[in-house]
Amino acid sequence: MRCPRGTIRRKAYTRTSSSGKQARVASACIKDVGLPGKGFQGEGSGIGELKEGELSRFGYDKVVTMSAKDRHAALTNAVKEYGALTVFRKLNAISVYTRHTASESSHIFLLDRNWVKRTFGNTKND
């Protein structure tokens, strides 16, 4: 059975009430709400999309294999171009987006984000 446009198929499942009774819920077509509130929703919402290569052009690439000294040198050049707040936000966004998929590099982005804040002062006024 195909569902009409704007709907998706919900799989059949068994529901158990608090009293222990079970009821079978049949498969059906339901309205596709597309996980509202999840994902990028456009301008001004959430962290936003990242533009590839904005930090790698300064040499901030393959951070897992780079030394802290090399990463910090690359980030210093990026701060000169973008400002500390922008670099801080980029590192934060990369850290958040890669938290579950690449946890080792995500942790490095978080450490470097904190380094930018400590080194270049209050990032709020950039």
pLDDT band, very low/low/confident/very high, at 33 (cuts 50, 70, 90): confident
Mean pLDDT of 1-6: 86
Calpha distance 29→9 (Å, rounded): 5
User: Residue 2: which of 26, 29, 27 has the closest Cα?
Assistant: 29
More confident residue, 52 or 25: 25
24 by Cβ neighbours in 10 Å (0-12 / 13-18 / 19+) ranks as exposed
Q: Which of 36-45, 56-65, 80-89 comes out lowest in average pLDDT?
A: 36-45
Extract the runs of DSSP E, i.e. beta strands, from 1-126.
7-10, 13-16, 22-25, 28-31
Per residue in 70-108, pLDDT (tens digit) is: 999 999 999 999 999 999 999 999 998 888 888 899 999
